[in-house]
């Protein structure tokens, strides 16, 4: 990634932070805006941040997301708006703004961080699962639309990864029960997901596009 510039959302913690560190190790210049610099819940803030970019980044990783737990019948409209805004509208805005410049230059890599809950169901994840399923659709359509331009677009669907959000949304007993049935017998590490994202965003990947790659320790094989 020497000489490449990457824009990573959600880069302050969890998978996003691991991606930032891995990209820097590989020689990339990484832009990881804070919420004060780009509030993903505010379309105007996203537009304002994009206007500050001097050139189109070579790589875009949409990692930031929110996942408030609530059964479908209990999801409030304002909560749904927030989830869809941060998890779907903001990645859409960034893809829409940056993909044309990547295509014009003849090189680009986009990875959208989805979720295993876009593939299988779990109660309390209705709004989150909806947003991530839509991200999968966005990934596939954009990949086809920019195919042949040198721009590759993929998504990663992590399962139970050792992050603050995983601990926040699952009790210790819940996680013990998950680990007991996971084929690999443990939670995933953010660095493992970051390595997969790094491959998809590198020049070593020249053919994989439009895919939703599940990284879940075998959870969806059960």
Q: Which residues are catalytic?
A: 128
User: What does the alpha-carbon distance between residue 99 and residue 60 come to, in Å, rounded to a whole number?
Assistant: 9
| Helix (H), strand (E) counts: the chain | 8, 6
Taking alpha carbons only, the member of 186, 176, 194 closest to residue 217 is 186
Which tokens belong to 68?
A: 């408030």
User: What does the alpha-carbon distance between residue 135 and residue 92 come to, in Å, rounded to a whole number?
Assistant: 8
User: What does the alpha-carbon distance between residue 152 and residue 121 come to, in Å, rounded to a whole number?
Assistant: 28
Count Cβ atoms within 10 A of the Cβ of residue 178 and give its class: 0-12 exposed, 13-18 middle, 19 or more buried.
Answer: middle
Taking alpha carbons only, the member of 69, 169, 77 closest to residue 126 is 69
User: What does the alpha-carbon distance between residue 205 and residue 42 come to, in Å, rounded to a whole number?
Assistant: 33
Q: Would you call 201 helix, strand, or coil by DSSP? A: coil
Q: Would you call 144 helix, strand, or coil by DSSP? A: helix
């Amino acid at each position: 990634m020497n000489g490449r510039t990457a824009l990573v959302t959600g880069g302050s913690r969890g998978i996003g932070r691991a991606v930032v560190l891995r990209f820097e190790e590989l020689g990339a210049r990484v832009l990881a805006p804070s919420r004060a610099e780009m509030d993903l819940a505010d379309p105007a803030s996203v537009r304002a941040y994009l206007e500050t970019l001097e050139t189109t980044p070579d790589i875009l990783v949409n990692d930031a997301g929110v996942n408030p737990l609530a059964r479908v019948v209990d999801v409030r409209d304002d909560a749904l708006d927030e989830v869809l805004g941060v998890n779907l509208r903001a990645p859409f805005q960034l893809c829409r703004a940056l993909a044309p410049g990547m295509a014009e230059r003849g090189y680009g890599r986009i990875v959208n961080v989805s979720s295993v809950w876009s593939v299988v169901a779990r109660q309390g994840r209705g709004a989150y699962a909806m947003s991530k399923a839509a991200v999968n659709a966005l990934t596939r359509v954009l990949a086809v639309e920019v195919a042949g331009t040198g721009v590759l677009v993929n998504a990663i669907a992590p399962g139970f990864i050792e992050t603050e959000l995983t601990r926040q949304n699952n009790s210790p007993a819940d996680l013990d029960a998950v680990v007991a049935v996971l084929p690999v017998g443990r939670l995933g590490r953010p660095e493992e997901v970051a390595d997969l994202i790094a491959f998809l965003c590198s020049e070593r990947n020249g053919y994989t596009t439009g895919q939703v790659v599940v990284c879940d320790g075998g959870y969806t094989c059960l």
